[in-house]
Structure 1
Amino acid sequence: MPVTKDIRYLSSDYQDPSPEQPVRYPPVLKLIRFFFGTLGYLFPKPMAKLAYRFFSTPRIRAHHKTSDELLESARLFEFMYGKQLLKGYEWGYGGRTILLVHGWESRGTALRTFVPPLLEKGYRVVAFDGPAHGNSDGKRTNLPHFGGAVRAIINQIGGVHGIITHSFGGASTAFALSNLDPSIKVEKLVLIGVPDKMKTVLNNAMQTLKVPPPAAREFFRFIEQKVKFPVQHADTSRAHISGSVGKALIVHDETDAIVAIQEARSIFEAWENASMLITKGYGHYRLMKNPDLIREVADFIDAG
């Protein structure tokens, strides 16, 4: 029987008074852009490699300015991923485990809003700081590398019932389940504000750095040589997750200025086992503070 494709809009009166945080670029970006804009024409290959270093290096290490009860109650642990020591966080003692996977320039505990309802439903919840993020080792990372860390922690904690992801973390998780270890089985997968087309992500990076066409072309060649596959192979919509994921929920906000909602729609249309939940007015980050959305996600994880 064909799978029914379900699209719903979140009904919520929740108002978040805090504005969506704009993307802030360091003042030195103007100098970097001038650098690429001139030397990128003269020396495209070296400039392409330098552009990759910028692209794969998080600009900030996310940290908490203040603590709270959830942060204080987390049980801390460490695990190895290659030669890197990554930091993990754990709550609850339930028999089934939910993994939280954060986005770019964030950290595992940024998704802790989902912890209380999952604990109430009897789950154990685990999060981690990805490579080059939070308190974990590393200076640079990329999608396949971050996906490898997702695979590593799933094996470390003995498998998971469900995974809740945000943004870059969702694309990395889908890549891990589809390409790195298809033997991993997950009942529920949630993608919140997740990009689809990797070419769009890379083009946006080239525009931000003002990399001229000759160096941009070399940048794409360098990326594909490094990861050993065409960039479109990493598109989230191309991930073959039907054998590893029971059901997926695609969550996206119509006003997301970081990842366009069409990215979410293309993932939803490509995945037969996916449903979609659309919000409006919460952007890329604030939707994870919405208690109505949090409850919807927790109910999806627990359904069935």
Structure 2
Amino acid sequence: MKKAFYFLLTKTIGFYINLMSFAFPEKATQLAHGYFSEPRKGKLTKDKLPKTLKGAHPETILHNEDTIQTYIWKGNETIVLLIHGWESNSSRWKKMLPYLKKSGSTIIAIDGPAQGLSSGKEFTVTKYAEFMDIVVKKYQPNYIIGHSLGGKASLYYQYKYQNPGIQKMVILGAPSDFNIILNNFVRLLSLNNKVAKALKNKYTVMLNHNLDLFTAKEFASKIDVKGFLAHDIDDIVVLFKEGKKIAGSWKNVQFMETKGLGHKLHDDELYNKVYVFLFENLTPTLSKGEGAESK
């Protein structure tokens, strides 16, 4: 029943946008862009924070018109920055946090644009990278861990800013090609060629980039940071071949293929390997079942 309703809803929205495109093409393009870039889930309120985030020290960064929410678990001078994905927020790290805390490191999570307690209506890779740059300048992390679209944003950040302070990166279940995401959206709503072409033109200008090259594969090929990349062969949200593309272009990366974890990639064995990758001289002490409850 839910699938039938969702199918009907998406096709109705697409039909309305297509119809509008003949009389008001600019409004139709903007409406389509809104559905493409505005998350429907992942926002938080201060009075109903998840338990995971209540245990952190919150810090809000104001930059121009942006409000960027961070959560800090204080530790030693080694700093790990966590970058969540689409329609999510910093609470998605609750399963991994126990492993990172065992290292004694300071852990900082950021709510992405239009997510969690951060401001904005649009969630884009470029805007997320801007948020990251502001946070990185303030806290100067050594390591970055990104999941899903947050993983792609992390690679784009390092590609654009070439930050020498970033020593290692962990990328989990990240998409590569922008055009695949956009084409899937066009098919989902059954948008006509006029709207599809207008969207591509809009994003070419907005991203100031050839869309065929706005890929995590391209970003990874231009960075020298040591990486750990994991992707599940059963991921139906971001297909496994996307992870293979990134792994094939990253000069210095360990690639872990998982099975049965899906897109969320919550797993004790995986987190142990991430721990070893980041903290080679330390030994993880958590065993299966000691981590926090999966989201």
Structure 1 window deviating more from structure 2 (94-103 vs 111-120): it is 111-120
Structure-2 separation of matches of 1:252 and 1:225? 31
1:35 equivalenced with 2:12 (yes/no): no
Aligned match for 2:166, one of 156, 167, 186: 186
Corresponding residue SS for 2:53: helix
Confirm or deny that 1:297 pairs with 2:278: no
Equivalent runs, 1:68-147 vs 2, <5 Å:
68=51, 70-147=52-129
**Structure number with higher relative contact order (C-alpha < 8 Å, ≥ 6 residues apart):** 1
* Cα distance between partner residues in 2 of 1:90 and 1:225: 36
Question: Which is worse superposed, 262-271 or 39-48?
Answer: 39-48
Please say if residues 72 and 108 of structure 2, whose CA atoms lie closer than 8 Å, have aligned partners that are also in contact.
yes
| 2:247 matches 1:273 | no
| 2:232–2:263 CA contact under 8 A, matched in 1 | yes
Q: Is the 8 A contact 1:57 1:140 kept in 2?
A: yes
Deviation at 1:146, TM superposition (A): 1.0
User: Hey, what's the Cα distance between the residues in 2 that align with 1:124 and 1:174?
Assistant: 21
Partner of 1:53: 34
* Comparing 43-52 and 85-94, the one that deviates more: 43-52
Matches within 5 A, 1:227-238: 227-238=207-218
Q: RMSD in angstroms over aligned alpha carbons?
A: 2.3
Q: 1:79 touches 1:156 (CA, 8 Å); kept in 2?
A: no
Question: Which of the numbers 152, 156, 174 marks the counterpart of 1:171?
Answer: 152
CA distance in 2, matches of 1:129, 1:199: 25
Aligned length: 276
| 1:215 shift after superposition | 1.2
Q: 1:153 aligns to what?
A: 135
TM-score (norm 1): 0.84
- Contact 2:18 2:195 survives alignment (8 Å): no
Gaps of 5+ in 1: 1-21
- Name the residue aligned to 1:19: none
CA distance in 2, matches of 1:259, 1:154: 27
The corresponding residue for 2:285 is none
Q: Deviations over 1:91-115 (max 9, x none)?
A: 1321100011000110012113222
Residue 283 (structure 1) aligned with residue 258 (structure 2)? no
Shift, 1:194, TM fit: 0.1
Write the distance in 1 (CA, Å) between the matches of 2:252 and 2:88.
28
- Cα displacement string for residues 154-205 of structure 1 (whole angstroms, at most 9, x for unaligned residues): 1111x111111100101111111111x1134311111111000111011111
**Equivalent pair of 1:41/1:212 in contact (CA under 8 Å):** no
Alpha-carbon displacement from aligned partner over 1:187-240 (angstroms, at most 9, x marks no partner):
111111100011101111111222111210111001111222212332001015
Question: Structure 1's 96 and 133: CA in aligned 2 closer, same or farther, altered over 3 A?
Answer: same
Q: For residue 52 of structure 1, give the secondary structure of its aligned residue in structure 2.
A: helix
Quickly say closer, same or farther: Cα 1:67–1:214, change in 2 above 3 A.
closer
Asked if structure 2 preserves the Cα contact closer than 8 Å seen for 1:45 and 1:215, the reply is: no
| Distance 1:233-1:152 versus aligned 2 partners, 3 A rule | farther
Q: Deviations 1:253-286 (Å, cap 9, x if unpaired)?
A: 111001010000010001111111111111112x
Contact (CA 8 Å) 1:177, 1:184: kept in 2 or not?
Answer: no
User: Aligned equivalents of 1:191 and 1:110: distance in 2?
Assistant: 15
Q: Do structure 1's residue 251 and structure 2's residue 233 form an aligned pair?
A: no
**Contact (CA 8 Å) 2:228, 2:255: kept in 1 or not?**
yes
The percentage of counterpart residues that share the same residue type is 25
Q: Which runs of 5+ in 2 are unaligned?
A: 282-295
Q: 1:175 to 1:25 in 2, by over 3 A?
A: farther
